[in-house]
Structure 1
Amino acid sequence: MVFQGLSLPGIIKYYGVNYKSFEATEDQMNWYENLEKSGSGQWWVIRSKEDSKFCGAIGYNDFNKEHNKAEIGFWLFPEYWGKGIIQESANILFDYLFEDLKLHRLEAYVESENESSSKTLKNLGFNYEGRMKDCEIKNNEYISIDIYAKIKT
């Protein structure tokens, strides 16, 4: 399922990775596994309430214990977009991160063209903090990244 999600043009258009073969997703699966082993993050499957079908993933990475912060990420199959699934999943994740892990700050880095994720983050209570202009290269072109943050209240 991870291969299906991270090979779909609608998902990977603004996502940091993409895969052209099932075998290639092993790198991503190892990344998820190593996050948990190292204590630097964890990702979970998101399942539909109606039929328990796999519909995406959500998690955190780059956990920095010294500064009590981490980065959030998420993706969904297109047929689940706009249904409040990320909102519900993220609120559960926030409880864990802010209460159990005692995070003070949660960050999100979004390609500046990704209006949908920016809107989702704003709806989740993240504040726009700025833009890193032409800070990464993707498909041989410079892209800008917007920074969002949610502070524990």
Structure 2
Amino acid sequence: MIQAFPTFSTERLTFGPIGYQDVHHIFQLFSDPDTMKFDGGQTMSTLDEAQEFIQFYSVFRPEFPILRWAIRDKETGTFYGTGGFYKMDLKNEKAELGGEILKNHWNKGIATEAIKGMLAFGFEGANLNRITALVSPKNSAAQALIKKSGFTYEGCLRQWERWGTEWMDLTIYSLLKKEWQK
């Protein structure tokens, strides 16, 4: 059982709590229409929204299990983005994976390494058996990343979420612990 906010690292990245020192990075990340067009479509419009985001995600609450890390460069501390697990169901050992990387850090292998690290934490540290990812069918980069990370396509969830005034389809992928261990 996870009791406190866990931290870990990979070869190039660290994963730790989002802090108030990140407010401008969080705002930059979530106010960018290019970043958010495949992640709910809504953008932040004020620093107050970024502060509320940080307040919500900076601690782990066992009664509301969500883990969202600040992803940083291991050597310089440069903020790259956020990622983590949502809809965590520790009783049934499953969670949904998600995240965002600042646009100026796209195509540098950061998301690939971040997913690899989060999967290792999920299967080993949180003892999950199943991790899912919901991806917009229009987001070809995320689709390729999820497939490269070993996930299996399960299907299309038709009109799964409302993004603004539109209903959006999302494709669902999953990775099981036994598949990840191979």
1:11 to 32, 35, 38: 35
Partner of 2:99: 74
> Is the deviation greater in 99-108 or in 36-45?
36-45
Q: Which amino acid aligns with 1:108?
A: A
> What are the residue-to-residue correspondences of 1:111-150 with 2, within 5 Å?
111-150=136-175
Q: Which fold has the larger relative contact order, with Cα–Cα distance below 8 Å and residues 6 or more apart in sequence? A: 2
Distance 2:138 2:151 in 1: 17
1:50 shift after superposition: 6.2
User: Which residue of the partner structure matches residue 99 of structure 1?
Assistant: 124
1:24 equivalent in structure 2: 49
Distance 1:42 1:50 in 2: 23
Q: Whole-Å Cα distance in 2 between the matches of residues 142 and 41 of structure 1?
A: 25
CA distance in 1, matches of 2:47, 2:139: 26
Q: One-letter code of the match for 1:71?
A: E
1:50-102 deviations in whole A, cap 9, x for unaligned?
64311111111211122110011111011211111111122222221111211
**Stretches (4+) displaced over 4 A:** none
The TM-score, its normalising length taken from structure 1, stands at 0.90
Q: Percent identity?
A: 28
User: What's the CA shift for 1:125?
Assistant: 0.8
Amino acid at match of 1:66: K
SS of the aligned residue for 2:61 comes to helix
The one-letter amino acid of 2:33's match is: P
Structure 1 equivalent of residue 12 of structure 2: none
Q: Distance in 2 between matches of 1:96 and 1:138?
A: 30
What is the CA–CA distance in structure 2 between the aligned matches of 1:100 and 1:138, rounded to whole Å?
33
Which runs of 5 or more structure 1 residues have no equivalent in the other structure?
Answer: none
Q: How big is the shift at 1:124?
A: 0.8
Distance 1:127 1:81 in 2: 23
Could you list the runs of 5+ residues in structure 2 that have no partner in the other structure? 1-24
How many Å separate the matches in 1 of 2:121 and 2:73? Answer: 20
